[in-house]
Structures are given as C-alpha cells and as structure tokens.
Chains A and B, each alone.
Chain A
C-alpha cells in the first residue's frame, strides 16, 4: 500500500518536472516533493512506526525515490541555468596567433652530436674527451706521423707560440711544440694510456685546420671519432658498426663502401663512403651521379699506435674511424655553406 504510494509519487514527480519552465516552478516543485511539509517527507517521517522488516524494505525504496527526484530536480536546475547563458556572444577568432612563452634552439651541431652520441651509447660506447690544445706528441708522433713526414702536410696545423721545453717528452727532441689538435685522434692514445682493452669509445670534439674558409671549408671543425679495440676486432666488424650507425642516423638502410686510403695511424687504412642518402645508390645530383657519398676516414689501428700507448705489439687489434659533424649535418639538412654553422646568426640557428 505504502509502497505503491511512494511509486506513485515518483511517477507523478518525474512527470511534473518535465513541465517546469523557470526557477519559480522549480522552487514549487521542490517544495511539493522534497520540502519539509511535503507528502513524501511525511512518509519518511512515518517510517519509524513500521515493523523492522517493513521499515527496511520501504525505507530503502523511499530513499532511492528521494534520490531520484533530487537528481531530476538538480538536472532541471542546470538545464535552466545553462539555457540562460549566451555562449554565442563569447565567440572568438581562433585563428588569432597564440601567445607563446618562446623556447630556445640548440645549435645544429649539438643536435647532430646528440643523435650520434645516443646511437653509440646505446651500443655500449663510452664518450671520451681530451684537450683541444694538444702536444705535438699526441697529435702526431704517437699516431705514427713522424717528424718531417709529408703526412704532416696533409693536415695544416695551427701552432702555438712558443715552443715548450719538455724534458719528459717521449720524442727524441726535447723541445716540443703545442698546437691546436688537427683531429680528435690524440684522444685515442690518451685513452689507451689509461685503459686496457676490450673497450669501445667515441670522441666527439672540436678540431682545427689552418686552411682558408669558403663555402665548404672551415678552419674550426667538429669531429667524431670511434675507437674499438679487442682481441679480434676486424674490418668486417667495422663495416657492420658503420652500417648500423648510418642506417640509424639517416633512418634508412645504407651500405658502406671502403676504398684504400692512407692515414699513418691506421693500417690498412680506408676512406669510407655511404650509399647516397637521397637516391640509395642509383645516382642523383646529390651524389654527383656516383651513388656514394664520401663520409670519412677509417682503418685498423696501426700497431705503432698501440705501442705508443704502451701496449705490446700485436697484442690487440682494433679499428678507428672519424668524420666531420659539419659534413654530416650539411648532408642531413642540405646546408650549402659551412660558414653559417659558426656564424652565430639566429636566422640560421632558429631553423633547427
């Protein structure tokens, strides 16, 4: 009996709420169905007179209905409120540029260097460093480039004044020059003096060549050197690591081509090319229709270099390779003038 009454109130209320049109109507509605003097409240008040079983049963029902009516009332309140809000009047032009906080740009060489470092460190290479102002010994003698050897002509050197007197010098000549390193290779010997194989390292860093600058030549360059030494590291291993690296770096499958070359610190020595990153080797203007791009130099570490570093001759074998970051960056981003790189020009820097 009571149950039906409750359900009846519910049906009536839910029917009624649909016709509420304004706040006054809603006030009336709430007063009628939820107010202190409403029939429904009266029922709830009377629950205490019922038997415990009925009280539980009816109570649950009454509370559920009350909740349902309150929710319907709340929903109506929101509906009335939202209807009064003129969203259209707030329309804005969303094509007006946003307000930015601005952010800075890393230099292109930093970006390229990181990409390279990340690939190599993922392969377990350690990053090694060495001085940019270097002793003649580490830059040349220890790398098997003898004094007065024409190979020293291959790399035009910035020398510093004056010559230093170094009684501890390992060269026959006790007076030794200091210079701006012409490559990152001196770090090979410096690292090997302190570490025993097996190891694999990379050496990113600044190097200097005393040559006039033009669109493709810069006297200040950034090199990248890798050195892997162990018991049986071989030419095939070099090819594999080079392929893996360049494929990852350029994001496409590339091949490596080795050509004979001469660097005193390696034997055998190579020049290495990668298949053209644009045409994949078929030939196009980027690779001058050769299908290959010249990237850098490499080779199997000359045993004399191991000896300079204090290893026993023929105890180890390994490979070393190096290339220029500028060249790689220019290849990747199609930059046509190397001088932009150290120009400090924000019109250039902000493009990357």
Chain B
C-alpha cells in the first residue's frame, strides 16, 4: 500500500516530539562528560566529573539501592499476601481497603511526608535513620505491588487451582507457595520492577524526609544542581540514568505483548502506573 502524505506528516510530527524529549536527555548526558560545557564539546571529553560525583555522592547511590531493595522486600512480604487476601474475598470491605492502599498515590508526597514528620518526628533515632525514608517509600510503592499482583490473580482462576491442590491433600502453605505464587510470578516481577524503579527515583517524599546524613540519589541530584557546577550535576544525572534505564527496559520487557494474558497484565500495570506519571524521575 503506498503511503500517503498524511503518513509522512504524522511520522514527522512524532519524530519531532521524540526529539523534543530526547535531545535534552542527550544534552545532559553529554554535558556530564564534557570538560567545559560553556565552551562545548570542542573542549574535550573527560570522566573527571563522574569521578567527582563518585567521591561526593557515592553514599547516596548506595543508600538509594539499600532503600529500594528494602522497600522491595517489604512490599513483597506485605503486598503479595494483601493482594491474595483482597482477591480471595471480594466485597465492599476489600474495595475500601484497596482504596485506602491507593490513597498515597493520589495524595501529594509532600503531604504524606509532613504527616509522617508530625507524627514520628519526635522519635530522634527513627527520624534520622534511613528507615524513616523507607516507611515513606513503602507507603508510596505498596499499591503498585498490590495492583500488579491483583491484576494477575484476577486473570487466572486461582480459586479452582487452589481447590485442585487442596483435593490432592495440600494444606494452605503448600498451596500458597507451590501453586499461587508460581502462577502469579509475572505480576510479582512486574510489581517488583515498578517498586524498585519508583523507589530509586522518588523525590517528593524523600526530599522532606531526608536529613543531611540520609540523602538519596534524587535528593543528591537536587543538591548538586543547586550547589555544584553544571557538569557535576549532569554527570550525576548520567549515573542516575545508568541505574534506572535497565530497570525501565526490564519493565517494558514484561509488558511486551506475548498473548492475551500478558497484554492484560500490561494494561493493568499501565493503569496502575498512570497516576504516578511525572514522579518516576525528578
């Protein structure tokens, strides 16, 4: 079929929009390895800025990883059973719980952070530890894990699978770990990737919750933008990209159409992610 003029117009427009979004990203990454950004690339390339970022901010990178992994652990331990319980007893009460769970996504991160500080700020040890930030991250990411697992649970007839296992003599724990968990693996993986990605990139909450000794990567970014040379801030961004992009690609992978079930999961996860739009990256 010959392509019409319209097609090329649309293609051109799409490419233009892509460029509009991608060029700043590339510029920022280039700036991070340029000797002097005001002179331009002709000043030469260097890894000096990355080295500086490492010496200044490596702690924030490790802390972000620690928080992301802990956050994942907590959301797995809490979120998967919660999703299972919600799926098992659908009703008005469980809808209510689901709504409460999702609320932190809708409420501005700053408001949640403030509430946490007002309530627990007096507990000095807790307030100054990274665990305080972890609590905020768990509140914020838990609904994504629950939703993602719930989506898969509602797409399989898990009740009958469980009854089948029970008829063969399997008690609850056997059924849960040998039948339920393996069959909702795709939802757990998609949820895990979402949780880790959101936690690493979280800024709103963390900015309020952090103390000078508990800075995370995105908060460190803001700090470097405000107080360092542009090249250092850009190099820092580069480090952030290196961490977050593989996660985003993995997230995309799990959403690639591979059958009706996959597509459905993708759709559900997409819906769950939608309200978070701009918060994934600062």
Bind each other: no
